[in-house]
Amino acid sequence: MNTTKTKYRQRISVTPALMSVLQWHVETQIHTPQQLESELLFPADDGGFRSEACLRKPFKMVSERIGLKKKFTPKGLRRTFNDAARVAALEGIVTMSISGHRTERMKDHYQTVGASEQREGIGKVLDLADAVIPGETVEASGMHCGMHDAQVVGMPAGANARCV
């Protein structure tokens, strides 16, 4: 395949470890003469492109074996790389160069944010805000006193953190 659906031809550099896995795949998983002649890395038995449905059965089987209650399909993997790249703290431009997304909008479209990331994010914001334990006083620092008059979790209704 010379280009992607966006007509963008790209090259992706991989680590030696990944290259050795791909080499193992070629040496052990490509069997038919048509596959051996194909330029594709994961050719169908006839050497052409695999059906988009080729992973449905294995995904269903694995999901059943591990007791996954949610529907998980190969199409869901479209977001997996972007999510993993974000958790690994890759720069957006690096993620886009690997995924082939040409715009930030498309990169963002193919991302999901999990509950643990939300919790961690809220924790970081609270750290910045110097959130207090009810009954303690707060030294004025990163956020100025009374900035939002926000209710601190665990404080009685109507009570606000006090600044000294």
Cβ atoms 92, 83 nearer than 8 A: no
> Does 150 map to a domain?
yes
| pLDDT tens per residue, range 49-69 | 988 788 888 888 999 999 998
Separation between Cα atoms, residue 52 and residue 18, nearest integer Å:
24
Cβ atoms 83, 112 nearer than 8 A: yes
Q: Residue 152 sits in which domain range?
A: 115-163
| Residue 68 CB contacts under 8 Å (≥ 6 apart), including other chains | 62
| pLDDT tens per residue, range 101-149 | 888 888 888 888 888 888 988 888 888 877 665 666 555 455 544 444 4
0.85 surpassed by pTM: no
> Does 134 map to a domain?
yes
Helix or strand (DSSP H, E) at 94: helix 92-99
> Does 38 map to a domain?
no
Q: Which two tokens stand for residue 27?
A: 């040496």
> Does 142 map to a domain?
yes
| pLDDT tens per residue, range 5-25 | 667 677 788 899 999 999 999
> Does 146 map to a domain?
yes
> Does 92 map to a domain?
no
**The total number of structural domains that make up the chain:** 1
> Does 58 map to a domain?
no
> Does 129 map to a domain?
yes
